[in-house]
Structure 1
Amino acid sequence: MAHDVRHEVRGVIAPGKNEPVRVETVLVPDPGPGEALVRVQTCGVCHTDLHYKQGGINDEFPFLLGHEAAGVVEAVGDGVADVAPGDFVILNWRAVCGQCRACLRGRPQYCFNTHNATQRMTLTDGTELSPALGIGAFAEKTLVAAGQCTKVDPAASPAAAGLLGCGVMAGIGAAINTGGVGRGDSVAVIGCGGVGDAAIMGARLAGAARIIGIDIDPRKLETALRLGATHTVNAADADPVEAVRELTGGFGADVVIEAVGRPETYRQAFYARDLAGTVVLVGVPTPEMTLELPLLDVFGRGGALTSSWYGDCLPSRDFPMLIDLYLQGRLDLDAFVSETVGLDDVEAAFDRMHAGDVLRSVVVL
């Protein structure tokens, strides 16, 4: 049954391909069965939002952008038991269904059927909005499936906590969950943006002995050192494959994390790893990209070539654990928050991201 109560909020809309975003009035319904209404406190400006705006995800415009968010549950619909009004939550785009083939095999971190809200948020003229990654949190309130809310310790700073909703979780998870980085391992990370730096932090958390950050922007390499890299390589000046081998006794790294999503950097990752090492692709490629490798090398080098969606995270397991580490001072999530901005500043924040000036701009509502 549709509810006729609708909340009028301000939200950031991408009206059409490559058009500037604008702030409009969004109507958010009261939660129906299995849904939750969340008052958004913070939302990071993520590269995926830019992909949506550029039409790189799909063409279901207009989009309600924003997905890397933290906030407080305001109301829940029927049948919701895991969260209640007043809970401080991080929003996630993997709301585990419990019924698909991955869930039934005990692998919920690969859930193939994640839940989103059933009801649609709209503009005042009734135009239905497509929420980014099923969340749409560049808005004062948003409607999500209750499973998209993960309750964490409210002592955490919302600006830092919300980043676990996407980029930071993707990077930390690429190292810990997908790459299986362990104590004493050598790790190379290609691409030291938000996700790459989070992978560096994850590798450090897992006890890696040597963590090599690779980029072509000296500013990003400085940040990588601050966040836990033991060495950096400027790929504009040096061959990263040779450099990684030199730093690992001639062998290559145990785990190489590719956080760019390009065939050239993927090839570098492939050849920069030790025999039986692991390549983790967490950078997102575009549809036209293809990869060619000598099959004999794929066979002869052994190991694993794997990709990491969302850091293979299980939000209910990983978010509270990482927030606890943050509150203990063992995971510096605050370091990712380069600046805080308002809803009206999102377009400018995209420009700064594109220029590489920020790790994360965070919208504070």
Structure 2
Amino acid sequence: MNQHKISKAIQIGNVTIGGGAPVVVQSMTSTDTRDVVSTIKQIKELEEVDCELVRVAVPDMEATAAIREIKRGITIPLVVDIHFDYRLALAALEAGCDGLRLNPGNISEPDKVSAVVHAAKERDVPIRIGLNAGSLPKTADPKLSVAEQMVEAALEQIRLLESLNFDLIKVSLKAFDVPTTIEAYRSIANKIPYPLHIGITEAGLPRTGVIRSAVGIGTLLYMGIGDTIRVSLTTHPREEVIAGYEILKSLDLRQHGPVLVSCPSCGRTEVDIISLAEEVGRRLEKIKKPIKVAVMGCVVNGPGEAKDADIGIACGKGRGVLFRKGEQIGTVEEKDFVKALMAEVERL
């Protein structure tokens, strides 16, 4: 894996982004921001799965009026998503948001951007220059690839912000197409010092969206690119956070809760390994310790294949073998597989 690119550090609320800080997992609410009660409820659900930043849509002034009250009801930093009307950004800053996302595809006029920058600068609030392949500026050169168009649009707005002596900048260049997204981020990572928010936009339903996001986000992280991530999925946003941490864990970039190792089963399997692994997975959701737990379908290869697991069970017909770091520590009857395994987990 490539060494992680050290970008300029910025602060969004109490969260440090870039500068060698751990990659941050964020999400976005799916509620109507004007519905303060529902929005706070959903953000608290995100906090329960350790979401570190949350973004809300701000489509009108009524939504900006909700920002102050939402802020009082949550503990994680609040970023507002602004499109088309720069005055919404000014109102959101006045209401106390911790960060802004501006889309150069629909807010690019220098006087409007300048007004937002001055207000953000007064409050030390960072701005994300958030490009999206589906909403590129009208001035984009059609001779360039989509990735190149996003990069050029981002660089143009970065130059504008820098001319205003503003450097609390984060950048994102998202597309549904994974190769396009990777190309754009690889290009801009070599051109700017600012932290990058990475993700695949409109990734889709969980089954396919997680795969698409894991390939795109995972590839970029493996290249050393990316300071914050969002796994965009058509589902409850808590699933985005869970998926985000799984991507980071798979690359050893963050330790966050348990890792469940389970075999795919084969002709040697004499128990319902799928149901067993699913039950253990549900129990592990409540565990915060960064441990590795293995559920294996046979005693022939189980302990060896999962020898680096902190605790595991290799299941045979009627009985199973409990093991720790590949070494047998006891046997257990089939009816007690889950109970015995979770008891060992609690002892760790």
Fold conserved between structures, TM > 0.5: no
Q: Which has the higher helix share?
A: 2
Q: Which has the higher strand share?
A: 1
TM superposition score category, shorter chain reference: under 0.3
Whose relative contact order is higher, 1 or 2, with alpha carbons under 8 Å and at least 6 apart? Answer: 1
Q: TM-score, normalised by structure 1?
A: 0.24
Structure with greater Cα Rg: 2
